[in-house]
Each structure stands twice: as C-alpha cells, then as structure tokens.
Chains A and B, each alone.
Chain A
Amino acid sequence: MKLKLEKIDEMNVLQVQEERIDAHNSAELKESILQFLEQGENRLFVQLSQVRFIDSSGLGALLSGYKNAVNRSGKLVLCNVQPQVLAMFELTRLNRVFEIYSDLNEAFAAQN
C-alpha cells in the first residue's frame, strides 16, 4: 500500500495514495497507523483525497486507528473524503465517530 507520512504546519499528515482500500491492503493501513502511534505521536490527519473506494475492512482499519489514538489521549482525523466513500461512513454511522473535514486547512483550523 502506498502511504506517505509528512509534517505539514507541524501536523502529522498521512496521505493514502491508493484508489482502493479493501481486504487486500487494509491490514497494512491498520498496522502503519498503529506503528505511527507507538512512536509516541498521538495526533494524525489522514488524507483520503485519492481514495475512491473503501470496503468494510478499510473502515475497520481506520476505526482501529481512531480507537488506538483515543486510547493514547490523541485523535485521528479524516480529510478530503470523497462523496462515495463518505456515503459508506454515513451508512455505518461512522461519520458520527470520526471528525471529518473537507480539507487540511479546515482540519487544522478546527484544532485551535
């Protein structure tokens, strides 16, 4: 799975550089987020602008990351969620669990 972790305005941003998150690559996403959190960072902005498809295992991987971040008194925030992907969060009511922002600027502004 292609992931890019970078610092933008001193914030940790994880770019998911894949069109699909499914049972083939979701375990890797889950593990990568966990490894990041285990390094002591506890706030992560996940950029999903390139993702146009997500299945139940992909939602599960992000939910796992969210729970792990919260357990460490941190947070995992989603940005640039494409409409059809967002519809899956709505169908599972996970849009009530995650903080979801239209872009990074909006997400960063909401943290202050």
Chain B
Amino acid sequence: MNAAQIQLDVIIPTQTKYLDLIGCIGERLGHGLDQFSGDREALAYHLNLVLTEATANAIKHANDSKPEETVRISIVIHDDELNIKVFDHGQGFDLEAVPAPDFNNPKENGMGIYFIKTLMDSVTYTRQGDCNVLEIKKRLV
C-alpha cells in the first residue's frame, strides 16, 4: 500500500447533531477520489452513509453517564484503499452476533451494520486499550 494521500482525524461529542458533519465529510471525500473507477456518486453516498451509521453506533454505545465523552473518527485515504476507524469508549458489542436483516419480515432496527458490511469491503470491531475500534476498509481500485 502506498503512503497516505489524506489523513483526517475528527473528534466530536457523543451527540447525534454531528452526524451530518461526519457524513458530509465522507461524501465530499468520496467525490474527490479520482482513482476510484466505479460510480463515484454512489461511493460518495455510501461513505456518507457508512460514516453516519458507524458514528451513530458509537454514540449509541457510548457511556450515557459521561456527557463529556467523545467519539473519534479517523479517515485515511491511500491510492488503493480507504480506511475508516471509529473509536468509542462504551461497553462494545459483538459484531459477528449482529444478525442479517430478515427481508421477508423487516424490522425497524439492525440495518446499520448491514449497510456497512454490504457497502464496504471489510469490517472489524476490536478492543484496543481503553476503547473499541470499528475499522472499515474500502478498496478504491
């Protein structure tokens, strides 16, 4: 993998009003990915969506008793891959235990992780030190 072209670190309070900001950053970055050979409009929307879902998930799992809590989002763009990490300080959850949606009996919840898994190339959720890291990768070429 080549050296990073762009690296972006954003730290926000655990409040949903910042989802718009995070999503829009993803969308703008997506529009600028000249190396992506596929549908860049769709990629831009998908990055908006994936960042919105991942950040909302981190906010949801944050410790409610600590209003000073923050979510850190790191985005690194290489020539051939985009890497997103979302760090939270909550209890964490089991990514593998999240069921796929039942399309014949749709539920109101549980589609966020499905979007991330479906639209990106790899997703992991691991404990690193005192926080959890949702790491998302998308190949660009």
Footprint of B on A, CB under 8 Å? 20, 22-24, 53, 55-57, 59-61, 63-64, 84, 87-88, 91-94, 96-97
Contacts and interface: CB of A to CB of B under 8 A. Distances in A.
Chain A contact surface mostly: helix
B112 A56 contact: yes
B106 A24 contact: no
Given A55-B49, A56-B111, A22 B56 contact: yes
Contacts of A87: 42, 45
Interface in B3-56: 16-17, 19-20, 23, 41-42, 45, 48-49, 52-53, 56
A59 B56 CA distance: 14
Contacts, number: 68
Interface residues of B, number: 27
Nearest to B108: A60
Contact of A92 (B23, B45, B101): B101
Interface in B73-123: 101, 103, 106-112, 114-115, 118
A23 B108 contact: no
A24 B108 contact: no
Contact of B16 (A24, A59, A93): A24
A84 B112 CA distance: 16
Contacts of B16: 22-24
Contact of B103 (A56, A61, A64, A92): A92
A92 B107 CA distance: 10
Contacts of A22: 16, 19-20, 23, 52, 56
Contacts of B42: 84, 87
B101 A64 contact: no
Contacts of B106: 63, 92-94, 97
B109 A60 contact: yes
A57 B56 contact: yes
